Amino acid sequence: MRQRALGNYSLVAFVGTTDPKRAKAFYQDTLGLELRSEDSFALVFDVDGTTLRVTTVPQVIAAGYTVLGWVVARIDAAVRDLHAAGIAFERYEGMPQDDRGVWQAPNGARVAWFKDPDGNTLSVTQH
């Protein structure tokens, strides 16, 4: 049997920020992630066992696609809770989204997108 080079190791996710104080408030207070550590290089959060490093960078060049996403059991509840926390959901031309910004994919998954304070696109998905 062929050994998988990295398939048996934990994943670390990265996202950039130019303002760690603002990012800390967003990821910890708004999204409810557990802050494990912080220093001049990064904020480190635990996301259900996965490490998320919000790295301090001189400039964030936001990708034109989703960089972080969460699988949720009930997207309606997740969108409601995030909206109540001040999150605005993105609208994309040509994608039929409901009044809350939720799109239904051809495979039945339901997705809603939002941005962090640095413009990184994040999402919640219910399969």
- Chain Cα centroid distance, residue 21: 17
Task: Determine the structural domain holding residue 79 and report its residue range.
Answer: 12-126
Order across the sheet with 50-56: list the strands. Answer: 12-17, 50-56, 42-47, 34-38
CATH number, domain at 18?
Answer: 3.10.180.10
Query: Tens place of pLDDT for every residue, the chain, 127 residues?
Result: 567 789 889 999 999 999 999 999 999 999 999 999 999 999 999 999 999 999 999 999 989 999 999 999 999 999 999 999 999 999 999 999 999 999 999 999 999 999 999 999 999 999 9
Residue 5 within a domain: no
Q: What is the pLDDT of residue 1?
A: 58
Residue 83 within a domain: yes
The total number of structural domains that make up the chain: 1
Residue 74 within a domain: yes
Spell out the residues 6+ positions from residue 57 whose beta carbon is closer than 8 angstroms to its own.
16, 17, 18
Is the pTM higher than 0.85? yes
Residue 73 within a domain: yes
